[in-house]
Amino acid sequence: MGVGVALMVAALIGIYMVSQFFRNSIGVIGPDLAREFDLKATDLSALSSIFFLSFAAAQIPLGIAIDRWGPRAAILTTAAIMLAGAALFAFAPGFRELVLARLLIGIGCSSFYMGALAIYAREFPPARFGAMTGMQLGAGTLGTLLATAPLAAASAAWGWRGAFLGVAAISAAMTLLVFLFVRESPAARAARAAGGESFREAIAGVWRATRVEGFWTVFLMQLVTYSPFAAVLGLWGAPWLDQVYGIDAAQRGNLLFALALAQVAGLFFWGAVDRPFRSYKTPAIVAGLGAAGLLLLAALVRLPTWALLPFLAIYGFVNASAPLTTAHGKALFPRELTARGLTLMNIATIGGVSLQQMLTGLVVESFGYQTTAAGRVYPAEAYQAVFAAMAVEMLIGLAFYFRIANRHPLRPAGTHP
């Protein structure tokens, strides 16, 4: 990998770290927001999920834009929207402004992952796509780590508003790096120019992508794989640790940091393991069964306090198979539909988080709450019900995924097991 390519990959990872931070930041500061704005569980879930809802809604136009104007233009355009949303969030006077800010941030971050994958698909050999996806996710998820203990510490020192202003400044710096170092190769620009699709043909290409064999099976798997992890880290982990175990903010941040760090390690591991197996499907099933089993454990048993750290660390590691299912999805599409196919898959990934957070918000709220000096407190059974619902969802997705053809660039055509 030459210096220019390395700088480009570093810039793409850097801007993706910003997206990962924003998507998970409500998990740590949620109790602070709930106290300041008197928010219910459904309010918090709506505030968190609106990011994912707007992110998912942007994917189809984003896929068309990437195919027509290129990933660099898409990333820089949406980054400007993200910066406006970050500033609004830091100065928001009320809940409505917080929601609007999260909506803008979701649209703004919508291209940072798909734009990078479109570049990797065009600039690197197909057999390396899974590893590049794992590296993008793994290194980019360092932004998730910043949304745990570091965000808790920054919020304690400067308040959550001051912390978000600092993140807005960092986001501007990452946008500048993309402007300076991300370029398409002449071959990629020529291939895109040669496509010459009209807008109607571009829309028709989206429909064609949904008709590809195996699309809906991988779509369902994407829907249920990442969303449980995001719900634990980005929304319910902190209230669960607070209200069930009485763990203070600093220690909650440390436990969620361990969860996120373990997922970083898992993303690198699962992103590279497809090559020795010559399969995306087999290791994805192993990881999915492990994650579903741990969710069932938390649903059926109240874990002792000493077990929380190993539980969260192991769960983070096994619930990191997104590079495998993303690469499996990419392998389904012809080259001219790559960006649109990947953005459709990302609708499932991110849209699944939005649906998950709204659904689990209703689950928690259905158990009722007690009003205390610290705010609304929900019973332990509410959080156990959340874990149970997410485990069942994952098992349903895996049941369908067992039946899909085992496609991989290193596997001879026609082999399925």
Domains, the chain, ordered by start: 3-401 (1.20.1250.20)
101: three-class secondary structure by DSSP: helix
Q: Give CA–CA dist 293/348, Å, rounded.
A: 22
Residues 6+ apart with CB under 8 A from 193: none
Write out pLDDT tens, residues 142-152.
887 888 778 88
Q: Report which DSSP code applies to 408.
A: -
| Percent of the residues in the chain that have a pLDDT greater than 90, as a whole number | 36
Write out pLDDT tens, residues 150-193.
888 888 888 889 988 998 999 999 999 999 998 877 766 666 66
Q: Report which DSSP code applies to 399.
A: H
Strands 375-377 and 370-372: antiparallel
Inter-residue contact 264 to 142 (CB < 8 Å): yes
Note if the pTM is more than 0.85.
no
Of the pLDDT bands very low, low, confident and very high (cuts 50, 70, 90), residue 106 is very high
Q: What are phi and psi of 301, to 5 degrees?
A: -130, 135
List of long-range contacts for 176-179, beta carbons under 8 Å, 24+ apart: 177/10, 177/11, 177/14, 177/15, 178/11, 178/12, 178/14, 178/15, 178/72, 178/75, 178/76, 178/79, 179/76
Residue 376: strand pairing partners: 371
> Can you read off the two tokens belonging to residue 184?
């398409």
**What Rg, from alpha-carbon coordinates, does the chain have?**
20
> Can you read off the two tokens belonging to residue 200?
């109607």
Closest residue by Cα to residue 363 from 223, 220, 241, 240: 240
Query: Is the confidence at residue 242, as pLDDT, over 60?
Result: yes
The most confident of the ranges 1-5, 239-243, 247-251, 345-349 is 239-243
- Give the pLDDT score at 183: 83
Of the pLDDT bands very low, low, confident and very high (cuts 50, 70, 90), residue 220 is very high
